[in-house]
Amino acid sequence: MVMGRQPCCDKLGVKKGPWTAEEDKKLINFIFSNGHCCWRAIPKLAGLRRCGKSCRLRWTNYLRPDLKRGLLTEAEEQLVIDLHAHLGNRWSKIAARLPGRTDNEIKNHWNTHIKKRLLKMGIDPVTHEPIQKDTKAEEICSRDDGVINMEDNSSSQTENSSCEDSRLLENICKDDTLLNSLWMDDPPHIDGASRNNETPDENVSNIRLPFGEDNCSWLLDCQDFGIQDFGIECFNDVEFNTLTTLEMGEGKH
């Protein structure tokens, strides 16, 4: 008798690299029908030559119906910065405060955008303290003005769309109770609606997703979904759109 759980997925014949539209379709089909109770079993059952881990990653980071995608708004960026100041590199915790955003997405955005911007502003992205003059970072900042301009421009482009979010963020900051709860181990969820002081049930149904033009159209049908709960029954209404979109070859891979 073998101790512990059953053997892990065999690494032999497991495919790596970018996912194809066909693979996406298989995974979505399976999860629509069966949910994702056991990632290890999914590849075999769904007819995928992938590791269960890879399936989970693909689902959580790309295929989940509630994902926003697109650039983070200014308000979201500011929230990430504030959360990072208190939580550090705990991306999953940070992502939990931004509905529709994944830890991977936030991590990438931090490393490629926010970190640089903080450096330009003379703020240490690790400590969130002002950088002392004559430090290396300061020298780098003063030399590279081009990037500042680019980021300033991109900021102005999202100004209108994030205006409402900014007000919501202000409300969070004003609310000491809410803010304090953010830093606790298991605080109440902060999402788009709770910033409006709505009830949790309303939160779920009123989340507005500012989709960009490259977002999947089928995601629009998922705005009414609960963020945490992906019961199988939830997918019935969107399955058609999802598969249609995939068949149109929207998948990048």
Task: Give contact residues for DNA (rule: CB under 7 A).
Answer: 1-9, 15-19, 38-40, 52-54, 56-58, 61-62, 71, 89-93, 103-105, 107-109, 111-113, 116, 147, 252-253
Angle between helices 236-247 and 21-34 (to 10 degrees): 170
Work out how close the CB of 216 gets to DNA at its nearest, in angstroms, rounded to a whole number: 11
Q: Which is nearer to DNA, 1 or 233 (CB)?
A: 1
Q: Which is nearer to DNA, 2 or 134 (CB)?
A: 2
Tokens 């014949």 identify what position?
Answer: 13
d(CA 11, CA 54): 12
Q: Which is nearer to DNA, 50 or 195 (CB)?
A: 50
Three-class secondary structure of residue 111 per DSSP: helix
Work out how close the CB of 120 gets to DNA at its nearest, in angstroms, rounded to a whole number: 12
**Cα–Cα nearest to 28, from 161, 156, 195, 216:** 216
Work out how close the CB of 189 gets to DNA at its nearest, in angstroms, rounded to a whole number: 13
Q: Which is nearer to DNA, 116 or 195 (CB)?
A: 116
- Dig out the tokens for 37 from the structure: 């109770």
Q: CA 120, 214, 231: angle at the middle one, nearest 5?
A: 105
Work out how close the CB of 170 gets to DNA at its nearest, in angstroms, rounded to a whole number: 26
